Amino acid sequence: MKLILISKRSDKVRTFSLNSWVRVLLSAALLGVPVAAGALLGLKLSDGRWQLLFEDHIVDMQNELIVSRQELQDDRQQVSQTLSLMTAKLAQMQASVVRLDALGEQLTELSGIEGGEFDFSSMPGLGGPGNLGQQVFQGNSNRQADLNLLMLGIDHSLSQRELQLKLLRSTLADKDLIDDRRLAGRPIARGWLSSPYGMRTDPFTGEQRWHAGVDFAGRLGSDVIAVASGVVTWSGEKSGYGKMVEVNHSDGYITRYAHNQENIAKLGTVVSKGDVIAMMGTSGRSTGPHVHFEVFKNGRVVDPASYIRRTSR
């Protein structure tokens, strides 16, 4: 066998001749490497080490799969718990709507407002399952969609109830304001009618004289109260009336409370219906403890009887 070597740096060519022993050794080296590798692989396979390596890898993959399944199960449980909490919360919200309806209906009845203006008795129009506490949904996605619909429905119902209650509160406030301004009732907390409006026998002269108001007798020092809200335009002595309080009301009404022992309401004070404005007495032209009550409408004195008989609406 001959080997020919060609050099890149020079144009020289060298030729070597190999004897039979060199050829044998070279062939053995070239063929020995694959044979040795095959023999080593055979030994590895024969003693089970490669099988153990594959088995360990499979076990790791199985463990990762188990962990992934557990995490997925935990996520599902968390979603289910969240939906359960949402369901319970929605049940509480729906119960709140029912309580608001009951409260609104009761307030409507107590206020005397005609039916139909505030319809709290009708149930809110909601979709989805009726029993939030026991309803079972077929899947988390369907359940989430149903809960979203219920939340939207209940949120709309709460907004409607809030608006209705605000309007009802405003109506009641207006009604209270109107009722407070309306002349009604007696100017005393305790006592009795001792002299009517009109012609009567004068207690001092015995002659027939015109009585421009009504008299309510009672215990000395008992409360004299305003029959409507207004502004005190007089608080002091007045000839024939003794100590007197005069209150200017809306719609051209004026009321007078005379023969007081003491005036409590001061000039310029804003009083409400039922406020104590004086103490019953005998000041001025009087024969005993009483309050002389007069009503003026648009500057003219009128019979207080019709206003005394009035009751609050």
> HEC states along 192-221?
EEEECCEEEECCCCCCEEEECCEEEECCCC
Whether the Cβ atoms of residue 289 and residue 217 lie closer than 8 Å to each other? yes
The per-residue pLDDT for 85 is: 74
Q: Which residues contact 278 (CB under 8 A, 6 or more apart)?
A: 224, 243, 245, 257, 260, 261, 262, 263, 264, 265, 291
- DSSP string of 289-305, one letter each residue: SEEEEEEEETTEEE-TH
- The closest of 264, 234, 231 to 246, measured between CA atoms, is 234
The per-residue pLDDT for 132 is: 44
Cα separations in angstroms, 220 against 118, 192, 239, 277, 291: 48, 13, 21, 15, 10
- Residue owning tokens 């119960």: 95
The per-residue pLDDT for 46 is: 54
The per-residue pLDDT for 70 is: 75
Read off φ and ψ for residue 67, nearest 5 degrees: -65, -45
The per-residue pLDDT for 295 is: 96
pTM above 0.75, yes or no: no
The per-residue pLDDT for 89 is: 72
Instruction: For residues 238 and 234, give the distance between their C-alpha atoms in angstroms, rounded to a whole number.
Output: 9
Residues of the chain with pLDDT under 70: 1-62, 64-65, 68, 75, 79, 96-97, 99-144, 146-147, 161-178, 311-313
Whether the Cβ atoms of residue 213 and residue 304 lie closer than 8 Å to each other? yes
Instruction: For residues 231 and 219, give the distance between their C-alpha atoms in angstroms, rounded to a whole number.
Output: 27
Q: Where are the alpha helices (DSSP H) in 112-139?
A: none
- The closest of 213, 209, 261 to 237, measured between CA atoms, is 261
- The closest of 216, 257, 261 to 234, measured between CA atoms, is 257
48 token code pair: 């089970």
- DSSP string of 124-150, one letter each residue: P---S-S-TTT---S-HHHHHHHHHHH
The per-residue pLDDT for 124 is: 45
Question: Residue 295 region, left (φ>0) first, then alpha (ψ -120 to 50), else beta?
Answer: beta
The per-residue pLDDT for 173 is: 59
The per-residue pLDDT for 198 is: 92
- Residue owning tokens 């005993």: 288
Read off φ and ψ for residue 217, nearest 5 degrees: -90, 155
